[in-house]
């Protein structure tokens, strides 16, 4: 490592750290503001609220019918994860192991949903879903969420599968393994860490996916983040603390899975798609 000792370098280093510190401070303060407000009895024009209470959580749970919303959220999210997981791993396996004519076009097809704005494909898809009668239904929400999730799983899994030596599979074949047992006893155990990471990342992203779910969610198929949006949008109808209590509940459900995901991946991978594995 190189350390420069000039006064200019020191000043520059200090400025960069100060900026980074300032950002982290503001970020934590934004989250803390939600937390503090959700426990506040009254918070008007002071640094901290007048008193503390937990009653907003009970209010929010009842008013926003959160037991239903949380249940629906998890049903939708797990279905999305299951579909994009199974289809994604199978597709990624073919793309990682074979070179075939038109492979570049296929990869482009999977890259496009990540490159164009969600509303650009979301509005036509929502229109189609409403016309076939799936608008507002459970499967409508699942289908629209699969569009960005499936490519994400595929792009995470391709480098992961590429690093598994194909000779391991060949050796298993030599020793008489059929396709079924090859998959169950050789590939699955090797793929499990990568799959777990990819699926947890999809899980976290789908819980937080607002734009697409918002387009097709009906009254009974709202996920947490969509309910939160409506609550903030109509703020003034309910107490602000109640909305923030719901925001905290949303945060906890997201962070639970994020913490679990971070056991398997480094934070940079959440945005950078398995770069480190490729380098290894």
Partner 1 sequence: MSGPSLGTRLAARGIDGTTLLVLPGIAVMVALFVYPFLYGIVDSLTPKEGVWYSNYTRFFSDRFQYGTIAATLWLALPVTILNMALALPIAFRVRLMNRQRLLTTILVLPVTLGTVFVADGLLTFLGPQGWFNRTLILVGILDAPVKLTNNYWGVFASLLITGFPFAFLLTLSYVTGIDPAIEQAAATLGAKPRQRFMRVFLPLLVPGLAVTFCLSFVQAFAVFPSAVLLGAPAGATRVISIAAYQAAFEQYDHSMGTAIAIIMGVVELVIVVAVLGLRSFFYRGPAGGTKG
Selected range binding partner 1 among 57-65, 73-81, 188-196, 254-262, rule: CB under 8 A: 254-262
Q: Which of 66, 80, 141, 146 binds partner 1 (CB under 8 A)?
A: 146
Contact positions with partner 1 (CB under 8 A) in 179-198: none
CB nearer to partner 1: give 33 or 168.
33
The CA-atom distances, in angstroms, between 20 and each of 27, 260, 267 are 11, 26, 17
Nearest Cα to Cα of residue 84 among 125, 159, 143: 143
Q: Which of 109, 168, 192, 260 binds partner 1 (CB under 8 A)?
A: 109
How many residues bind partner 1 (CB under 8 A)? The answer is 98
Q: Which of 10, 11, 16, 218 binds partner 1 (CB under 8 A)?
A: 16
Exposure b/e, 125-139, CB count within 10 A at least 16 = b = bbeebeeeebbbbbe
7 binds partner 1 (CB under 8 A): no
CB nearer to partner 1: give 68 or 93.
93
Measured between alpha carbons, how far is 90 from 87 in angstroms, rounded to an integer? 5
The CA-atom distances, in angstroms, between 9 and each of 15, 16, 20, 22 are 10, 11, 17, 20
Measured CA angle at 219 (ends 56, 256), to 5 deg: 50
Selected range binding partner 1 among 57-65, 71-79, 148-156, 189-197, rule: CB under 8 A: 148-156
Three-state DSSP class for residue 209: coil
Structure tokens at 24: 């982290």
CB nearer to partner 1: give 65 or 254.
254
CB nearer to partner 1: give 29 or 50.
29
Binding mask 199-218 for partner 1 (x = CB under 8 A): -----xx--xxxx--xx---
240 binds partner 1 (CB under 8 A): yes
List strand residue ranges (DSSP E) for the chain, in order. Answer: none
């Amino acid at each position: 490592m190189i350390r420069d000792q000039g006064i200019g370098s020191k000043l520059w280093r200090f400025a960069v750290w100060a900026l980074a510190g300032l950002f982290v401070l503001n970020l934590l303060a934004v989250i803390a503001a939600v937390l503090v407000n959700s426990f506040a009895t009254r918070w008007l024009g002071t640094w901290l609220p007048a008193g503390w209470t937990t009653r907003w959580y009970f209010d929010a749970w009842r008013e926003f019918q959160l037991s239903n919303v949380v249940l629906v959220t998890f049903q939708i999210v797990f279905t999305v994860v299951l579909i994009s997981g199974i289809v994604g791993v199978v597709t990624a396996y073919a793309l990682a192991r074979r070179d075939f004519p038109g492979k570049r076009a296929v990869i482009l097809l999977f890259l496009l949903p990540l490159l164009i704005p969600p509303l650009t494909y979301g509005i036509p898809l929502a229109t189609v879903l409403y016309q076939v009668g799936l608008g507002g239904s459970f499967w409508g929400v699942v289908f629209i969420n699969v569009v960005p999730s499936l490519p994400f799983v595929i792009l995470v899994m391709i480098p992961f599968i590429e690093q598994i030596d194909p000779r391991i599979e060949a050796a298993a074949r030599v020793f008489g393994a059929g396709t079924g047992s090859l998959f169950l006893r050789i590939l699955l155990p090797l793929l499990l860490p990568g799959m777990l990471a990819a699926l947890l990342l999809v899980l976290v992203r789908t819980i937080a996916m607002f734009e697409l779910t918002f387009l097709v969610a009906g009254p009974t198929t709202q996920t947490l983040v969509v309910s939160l949006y409506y609550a903030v949008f109509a703020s003034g109808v309910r107490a602000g603390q109640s909305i923030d209590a719901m925001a905290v509940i949303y945060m906890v459900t997201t962070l639970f899975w994020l913490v679990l995901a971070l056991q398997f991946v480094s934070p940079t991978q959440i945005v950078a798609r398995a770069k480190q594995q490729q380098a290894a």
